Structure 1
Amino acid sequence: MENAIYLILLLLSSFIPAIIIFFLKESSTNLRNILNLTGIFFKIILVFIIFQGVKLGVKFKFSYEIVNGIEFVLKADELSLLFAILSSVLWLFTTVYAISYLKNSPNQGQFFGFFSLCVMSTVAIAIAGNLFTFFIFYELLTLVTFPLVMHNKNEASKQAAISYLKYTIFGGLFFLIGIVGLYMISGVQEFVSGGFLSQINVENHKYLQIIFVILLIGVGVKAAIFPLHGWLPLAMAAPAPVSALLHAVAVVKAGAFGIVRIVYEVYGIDFAYSLGLLTVLMIVAVVTIVYGSIKALLQIELKKVLAYSTVSQVSYILLGVSLFGPIGTVGGLVHLVHQGIMKITLFFCAGAFAKTYGIKEVSQMNGLGKKMPLVSFSFTIASLGMIGIPPIAGFVTKWYLALSAVENNLWFILVVIGISALLNAAYFLPILYRIWFLEPENEKQKIVPTKYFESRAFLVIPALLTALISLLLGIFAFSDWSALSWVEYLVKLEYK
């Protein structure tokens, strides 16, 4: 074990506050908020300490043998830190936002207890060192997000939670079958750069192809790939902070991250390509991208527009992985970060619109630019980024994917990217037109604006900051501190 204490503390920074919060009185609002924020700040500090260590070549690993041949392993590497940093930083914004959004709401103790367990599970997924450990926290994530989806306790949220549980149990079963299948032929589970399957002699390639499909189904449920996405639009019955974490930070990203791990560190990108598995992944990604965009175009509720947008946008990550070569990989992995930041901005804005004016449908958004200029500005930046308008972060993703398609002579992928961008524009631009160019309706305001902001300050500030980050990550994409820079570094390690 090497520097294991840092990895253990990384998980305890959320676990301990969660346990304490469950035992607090409902009225202990200030103490609960302090515990939440202290835990997340401590986690961010630890993540960046580990990040600096990994850059310098320091090893971080914890392992414990549970039974003969099966180990619980935590390990920090370049790929895991990409997801861990994203999760930790966005969780800070989401926590601040949730504290404001749920002010004076019931059952906050239960909400923030499970909220902290959710970030623990997500970061644990990031630093899981083998398939067994990944599976443990992948399923724990299901259990701790279930109460969050059902938080409102109305009929819609109950049905959404039941649907979510059915889908994820189904996915978890397939994931477990795939893991057991791999263990039977390899006896290995630990993630290895280049893939552990590429380093052993497995003659029955058909068996490995079948196992890949089983694993893809298993993690594809949380990644919301078509046709395993049905739970996600229903889950929009949850409060806005939950929607934000489902789409941008935790569940959907955990599924996409799982697929990345399987391709690069279980099979290995070269071996996966030789087995024809990248073609399967490409077909799944293309179908999901187009399907999600079309469905988003047909929705009337704002959060469902954003939900189907996620179905489409997350599959850009899979598309980048399927485009064999470093350029496509860069495009896919950087989208893990860029999409997360843009999407969380959109859900922050949707929640602010709903909380301030009771707006839930697109048809109710007329004139919001005059009523809520800062939130509307944030929504506009993130929307344009989703379309792929430069210099916002979303453009970087589509540029790299397009370059990879040209490099591999996959011209139909350029067509798919173009169609998707047009469909993105078709459902986002009319919303922006309503916000900025139509006259506002005379609706009774539900929350009086504060002295300095158009709504509660901490409904506005997180949205504004994440929107600005989306813009800065695009403008300074080629700087040394950008997400693109780190992704290019880890991709060089993968293809060296």
Structure 2
Amino acid sequence: MGDSVWLALALIIPAVTLLAILLLGRRPNLREAATLSGAILLFITVAQLLVDVLAGARPELHLASVAPGLTLALRIDPLGMLFGVVAATLWVANSVYSIGYMRGNDEPRQTMFYACFAIAIFSTMGLAFAGNLFTLFVFYEILSLSTYPLVTHKQNPAAMKAGRVYLITLIGASMILLLPAIIWTGLVAGTLDFKAGGILDGKLGPVALSILLAMFVFGAAKAAVMPLHRWLPAAMVAPTPVSALLHAVAVVKAGVFTILKVVVSIFGIETLSKTGSADWLVYVAGFTIIAASVVALRADDLKRRLAYSTIGQLSYIVMAAALVSPLAVLGAALHIAAHAISKITLFFAAGSIYTAEHVTKVSQMNGIGRRMPWTMAAFAIGALSMIGLPPTAGFLGKWFMLGAASSAANWFAVGVIVVSTVLNAAYFLPILTAAYLKPANGPVKEAPLAMVVALSATALGTVMLFFFPEVPFRLASAILGG
């Protein structure tokens, strides 16, 4: 099959999976088999595309012409390929985990859960492989709408309130900032197509470029840059597989992917570097990193602590993008992959602890490492990765980002990375010491097997990505060349 056929399959497979889930809704075993089969088939498809992209191919597919100058089109570049690989790989792990979680907690509306998840993956594939800003925007909005029912899954007052915050923040930011930014870009550049090196060189002055960049950064509120971050901790009322989707597989990654994509392929790092139009973003992202880490330090609710950890970790990527250097972009891209696999491991572990022990607070985790050895071993690996310690994947991105900040003599960014790393350790290590060193009460009791298998696999992947980073490294290295 040609590259365009494989590219089309990346959208067709989640769509067909959605139909199968809806048709098999009354037969849980077959419904879940359809979900897992779709995830595996998508992984195979994306793996084939990955081979082609690493060989130098740039698959393209024209979907539709909406109006003159507005086309729905797909084109895979290295950054999109990296995001696509992350999402497709983790859909497999999350599908296995979800089967154990949804059954183990006897969750209601499971068919709707799996259906919305399939739509979210469909939109994520479209967003990752978007060939222009218009296509990215369409799939970005589909992602927001498809994840709203997942956030409100429990349909209690807390869930409905969180859903309102979620939708108002994400859709509001898109309509008020992101869409006007896209229109402005099209008017001044004459195109919305992504291009290596950007399309805005010489089109706007430094101040206008700064304003346009701010519209993109805050318009892409999924990146949770402060002050547009409150939707993320609010959404933690959702089931843990949804939290994993929000933090690792799709939603927040869609935000930072959009920002990094715009910096590289719309503005161009050379344009931003010579105009200094992104300098302000280093400080905004740095503040978000430190402030979120301080809030995480004080949070007793485990998922809330992980949520604020995500807010801080995402802004590492934003800050690296704002440094506008090849080394910083390399670090940002690597951190997308590292954070995804590490944070999904942490949320998988949190869900397993809730399922087996009904524990949701950090203060309740004394001795749990001996009662749930597999789960807490995986949690420990994910936590060490978030701190940035070898041999875990989180070390790689931080190392390159620190190198970029040092090379640019940006001592503010260096200080943020160092101080936040200490804060990361301060809010993760006490969990591990309490889990392993304090007395354990009760017998060994793990979560359902499917959940343990999934979290063990992602924990192993977190370590393996440190020792075998070739694929994300090659993709990250190729980003600047398109």
User: Contact 2:321–2:329 at 8 Å: present in 1 too?
Assistant: yes
Three-state SS of the structure 2 residue aligned to 1:197 is: coil
Listed as ranges, the matches of 1:249-264 within 5 Å are 249-264=249-264
User: What stretches of structure 2 of length at least 5 have no aligned partner?
Assistant: none
Partner Cα distance (2:363, 2:441) in 1: 10
- Answer yes or no: is the 8 Å Cα contact 1:14–1:39 preserved in 2: yes
2:386 is aligned with 1:403 = no
| Deviations 1:122-168 (CA, angstroms, capped at 9, x unpaired) | 11110011000000000000110000001111221111111101101
Offset, 1:209? 2.8
454, 458, 466: which one pairs with 1:466? 458
Task: Answer whether contact 2:380 2:432 (CA < 8 A) is retained.
Answer: yes
- For residues 354-409 of structure 1, what are the alpha-carbon distances to aligned partners after superposition, in whole Å with 9 as ceiling and x for unaligned? 01000000011011111100111000111111111122111122211221122111
Verify the 8 A CA contact 1:209 1:275 in the aligned structure 2. Answer: no
1:4 and 2:19 aligned: no
1:162 corresponds to 2:164: yes
Q: After superposing the two structures, state which structure 1 stretch, 352-361 or 15-24, moved more.
A: 15-24
Aligned to 1:57: 56
- Give, in angstroms, the shift of residue 281 of structure 1: 2.0
Structure 2: which amino acid aligns with 1:4? Answer: S
User: What residue identity is the alignment partner of 2:461?
Assistant: I
Q: For the residues of structure 2 that align with 1:476 and 1:92, how far apart are their CA atoms?
A: 20
1:487 matched to 2:479? The reply is no
1:274-293 equivalences in 2 (<5 Å): 274-293=274-293
Counterpart for residue 136 of structure 1: 138
Flag the 1:19–1:210 CA change in 2: closer, same or farther, 3 A: same
Counterpart of 1:38, as a letter, is S
Is the 2:279–2:322 Cα contact (8 Å) retained in structure 1?
Answer: yes
Higher relative contact order (CA 8 A, sep 6+): 2
Q: Which moved more, 1:87-96 or 1:180-189?
A: 180-189
Instruction: Give the aligned partner of residue 209 of structure 1.
Output: 210
Which SS does the other structure have where 2:85 is aligned?
Answer: helix
Identify which range, 48-57 or 351-360, moves more after superposition. Answer: 48-57
Give 1:9 shift.
1.4
1:60 CA displacement: 1.2
The residue number in structure 2 matching 1:99 is 99
What does 1:37-186 align with in structure 2 at a 5 Å threshold? 37-63=36-62, 64-103=64-103, 104-173=106-175, 174-186=177-189
Aligned-partner Cα distance in 2 for 1:411–1:342: 27
Q: Is the 8 A contact 1:320 1:333 kept in 2?
A: no
CA displacement, residues 15-55 of structure 1 (integer Å, 9 cap, x when unaligned): 11212322434x31111112111111111111111111122
Letter in 1 for 2:403: L
Q: Which moved more, 1:153-162 or 1:84-93?
A: 153-162
Displacement of 1:203: 5.0
| Matching residue's letter, 1:185 | V
8 Å CA contact 1:36, 1:95 repeated in 2: yes
Residues 300-332 of structure 1 deviation map (CA, whole Å, 9 limit, x = unaligned): 100000000000001111122222322222111
Question: Tell me, what secondary structure is at the counterpart of 1:188?
Answer: coil
- TM-score w.r.t. the length of structure 2 is 0.96
In percent, how many aligned pairs have the same letter? Answer: 37
> What SS class does the counterpart of residue 277 from structure 1 fall into?
coil
| Amino acid paired to 2:398 | K
For 2:405 and 2:293, the matched residues in 1 are separated by 20
Question: For the residues of structure 2 that align with 1:54 and 1:482, how far apart are their CA atoms?
Answer: 11
User: In the TM superposition, what is the alpha-carbon distance from 1:410 to its structure 2 partner?
Assistant: 1.6
Local SS of the residue matching 1:65: strand
SS at match of 1:390: coil
Matched length: 477
Residue of structure 2 equivalent to 1:195:
198
Which residue identity lines up with residue 47 of structure 1 in the other structure? V
The 1:67/1:335 distance shift into structure 2, 3 A limit, reads same
The TM-score, its normalising length taken from structure 1, stands at 0.93
One-letter code aligned to 2:459: A
- Whole-Å Cα distance in 2 between the matches of residues 97 and 3 of structure 1? 31
CA distance in 2, matches of 1:278, 1:440: 50
In structure 2, what is the Cα distance between the partners aligned to 1:425 and 1:255? 25
Aligned counterpart, 1:354: 354
Query: How far, CA to CA, are the matches of 2:310 and 2:92 in structure 1?
Result: 21
Secondary structure (helix, strand or coil) at the match of 1:102 reads helix
**AA at the equivalent of 1:164:** Y
- Partner amino acid for 2:393? A
> 1:49-71 CA distances to partner (integer Å, 9 max, x unpaired)?
11111222334111232211111
Q: What's the counterpart of residue 32 of structure 1? A: 31
Superposed, which structure 2 residues align to 1:222-237 within 5 Å? 222-237=222-237
Is the Cα–Cα contact under 8 Å of residues 206 and 276 in structure 2 kept in the other structure? no
Change (3 A) 1:324 1:212: closer
Residue 238 (structure 2) aligns with: 238
Q: Distance in 2 between matches of 1:340 and 1:79?
A: 15
Give CA deviations for 1:90-130 in whole Å, capped at 9, x if unaligned. Answer: 11100110111001432111110001001111111100110
Looking at structure 2, the residues matched to 21 and 169 of structure 1 have their Cα atoms a distance apart, in angstroms, of: 27
The unaligned stretches of length 5 or more in structure 1 are: none
Measured after TM superposition, the shift of residue 205 of structure 1 is 4.6
**Equivalent AA in structure 1 for residue 30 of structure 2:** L
CA distance in 2, matches of 1:211, 1:148: 32
Return the alpha-carbon distance in structure 2 between the equivalents of residues 258 and 71 of structure 1.
18
Instruction: Give 1:112's aligned amino acid.
Output: Y
Distance in 2 (alpha carbons) for counterparts of 1:55 and 1:404:
25
**Any conservation in 1 of the 2:79–2:475 contact (CA below 8 Å)?**
no
Out of 224-233 and 52-61, give the one that drifted further: 52-61
On the 8 A contact 1:473/1:482 being kept in 2, the answer is no
CA distances 1:422-459 after superposition (whole Å, capped 9, x unpaired):
111111111001100011245xx8xx95xxxx221111
Change (3 A) 1:230 1:424: same
> How far apart in 2 are the matches of 1:399 and 1:3?
35
304-313 vs 378-387, which moves further: 378-387
Work out whether residues 81 and 475 of structure 2, in 8 Å CA contact, stay in contact via their aligned partners in 1: no
- Tell me if structure 1 keeps the 8 A contact 2:77–2:479: no
1:210-256 deviation digits (Å, cap 9, x = unpaired): 2221111111x100111100100010000000001100111100000
Q: CA RMSD in A?
A: 1.6
Does structure 1 residue 343 correspond to structure 2 residue 343?
yes
> In the alignment, is the contact (CA less than 8 A) between 2:388 and 2:394 conserved in 1?
yes
Do 2:144 and 2:170's aligned partners in 1 also have CA atoms closer than 8 Å?
yes
Q: Partners of 1:259 and 1:425 in 2: how far apart?
A: 27
Does the residue aligned with 2:86 lie in a helix, a strand or coil? helix
Shift of 1:482: 4.1
1:384–1:392 CA contact under 8 A, matched in 2: yes
